[in-house]
Amino acid sequence: MTDAPDTVAVLIPVFNDSGLLPATLRSLRDQGVPVVAVVVDDGSTPPLSCDAASLGVDVVILRHDANRGIEQALNTGLGYIRRRGIAYVARLDNGDRCAPHRLARQRAYLDAHRDVHLVGSAVEWRDDDGRLRFTRALPTAHEAIVRTMHHTTALIHPAVMFRSSVVDTVGPYSTAYPAAEDYELFWRIAQRHRVANLPDVLLVTRFDPRGLSMRRRRQQLRSTLRLQLAHFRPAVWESWFGVAKTLGRFAIPYSWIVAVKAARSRRSDLVTA
């Protein structure tokens, strides 16, 4: 199979889709670049299927016979993308939607900045009724991203695009940090290559209080704390802040965190209005 040199592979792990995948795939139609959606069915019952022709998107479905977890699903997709020789990998979660031309803009940025190997963007969270819950604007420069990563992720996983060649230099997703596999990979990439964020909202992610991140929250916090301690720098105040904040979150209900994020987003809207 031969791909255009500017093809973007969109990596989407799925386990037991509940009807969200078609809308996610349709958001890939107006991207301004050749796209192939690499959907990894991580042992769904029944097996995942979709009518790619009606969606207007090139779709490849890779299947696991049993559920192996998101890290293994992502690595299955990465292996396929590398074998196919596709240079750009964009992440997307089932239920999320790309803004028009998100992929073209991120690919253009990587083409114009050859030293940057991963680029993300700002993100909106909306519920199933379309109501905006909160927005996250992120630092855009490499140095600011790395400092921020000492206390929180400064790259949103389903909003990033990276060069598939980073797998050769930093390796695939690790299974050693459950529910924080993205945070751990971002650290490895940022230590070897430059990373960036575009300032605009290029992804609308589905706000679901019952989602995977919420159901695995304590596991995610434990993995996050281990990563923060592994990258701890006594001279960097963000390292101290990160460890303290993560320890505090073990005792704070997630609903409180959502309320704070929503309040910050509203204040930001008022300032920019």
42 found inside a domain:
yes
Q: CA-to-CA distance for 88 and 92, rounded, in angstroms?
A: 13
pLDDT for the residue 166? 96
What was the pLDDT predicted at 266? 55
Instruction: Tell me, yes or no, whether 248 lies in a domain.
Output: no
- Is 90 a domain residue? yes
In the chain, the percentage of residues whose pLDDT exceeds 70 is 89
pLDDT tens digits for range 39-82? 999 999 999 988 887 888 999 999 999 999 999 999 999 999 99
Query: Is 262 part of any domain?
Result: no
- Mean pLDDT over the full length of the chain: 90
Domain membership of residue 270 (yes or no) is no
CATH code at 149?
Answer: 3.90.550.10
* pLDDT, tens only, 195-229: 999 999 999 999 876 654 555 788 999 999 999 99
Region of poorest pLDDT, from 10-14, 54-58, 239-243: 54-58
Does residue 252 sit within a domain? no
Specify the pLDDT at position 113: 98
Range of the structural domain that residue 123 is part of: 8-207
Its pTM stands at: 0.90
What's the structural domain count of the chain? 1
Q: List the helix and strand counts (H, then E) for the chain.
A: 11, 9
Asked whether residue 94 is assigned to any structural domain, the reply reads yes
pLDDT value at position 249? Answer: 87
Query: How far are the Cα atoms of 65, 111, 180 from residue 207, in angstroms, in the given order?
Result: 29, 32, 18
Give domain status of residue 79, yes or no. yes
